[in-house]
């Protein structure tokens, strides 16, 4: 079981392996920008969408075409893309010291109220992989539209260990 390794708490890579989660290919930028920038010990990610092979895996608005459960799946899918990107960029998820900031933009109709539940689709995956003690601050807001018609966009900033 996770966390019962006699040598200490399970690493993110161990947790990922034990949970059977398969990471997708890391997403490529959709325009004139880069996927990640590291400055000091902070790693900034570009906005993560629920895309597969450059196409939207989910399309629609929460409260209209999509229900909360589907929104959670979209948020989780975007978070998987983020994990794939961080693993590719850092070589190992174990270089993540802390998830500093998770911002979640959700496309909603006017009177949608379940933002926190949708965002938890991303938050719970991050907690599963990095552990509760690395949980981030979070901001969630309902927006009008997102690139490619996606229902969810994630902002992520990580604290990472220094390059060796």
Binding site for a second copy (CB under 8 A): 29-37, 39-42, 44-47, 61, 98-103, 105, 107-113, 115-117, 119-120, 123-124, 127, 135-149, 153, 155, 157, 159
Least distance between a second copy and beta carbon 118 (Å): 10
In the bound state with a second copy, the residue whose beta carbon lies nearer, of 16 and 146, is 146
Distance separating alpha carbons of residues 46 and 29, to the nearest angstrom: 8
Q: Which lies closer to a second copy via its Cβ, residue 4 or residue 39? A: 39
Neighbours of 47 (CB within 10 A): 19
Rg of the chain over Cα atoms, rounded to whole angstroms, equals: 16
- As measured in angstroms, the least distance from the Cβ of 7 to a second copy is 26
Q: Which residue number, 81 or 123, has a Cβ lying nearer to a second copy?
A: 123
Count of other CB atoms within 10 angstroms of residue 34: 8
User: What gap in Å lies between CA 13 and CA 29, rounded to an integer?
Assistant: 25
By the 8 A CB rule, do 14 and 2 touch? yes
| Shortest reach from residue 21's CB to a second copy, in Å | 17
Instruction: Give the shortest CB-138-to-a second copy separation in angstroms.
Output: 4
**Least Å from the CB of residue 4 to a second copy:** 22
* Nearer residue to a second copy within complex by CB, 20 or 29: 29
Q: How far apart are CA 138 and CA 52, in angstroms?
A: 25
Q: Which of 130, 118, 30 is nearest to 83 (CA)?
A: 130
Residue closer to a second copy (CB basis): 11 or 123: 123
Taking CA atoms, 101 is separated from 31, 136, 155, in Å, by 23, 5, 7
């Amino acid at each position: 079981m996770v966390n019962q390794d006699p040598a200490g708490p399970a690493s993110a890579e161990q947790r990922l392996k034990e949970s059977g989660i398969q990471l997708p290919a890391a997403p490529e930028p959709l325009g004139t920008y880069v996927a990640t920038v590291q400055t000091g010990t902070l790693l900034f990610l570009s906005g993560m969408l629920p895309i597969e092979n450059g196409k939207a895996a989910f399309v629609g608005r929460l409260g209209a075409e999509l229900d909360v459960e589907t929104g959670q799946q979209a948020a989780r899918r975007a978070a998987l893309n983020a994990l794939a990107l961080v693993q590719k960029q850092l070589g190992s998820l174990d270089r993540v010291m802390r998830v500093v900031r998770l911002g979640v933009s959700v496309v909603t109709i006017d009177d949608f109220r379940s933002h926190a539940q949708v965002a938890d689709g991303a938050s719970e995956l991050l907690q599963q992989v990095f552990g509760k003690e690395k949980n981030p601050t979070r901001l969630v807001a309902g927006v009008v539209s997102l690139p490619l018609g996606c229902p969810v966009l994630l902002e992520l900033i990580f604290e990472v260990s220094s390059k060796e």
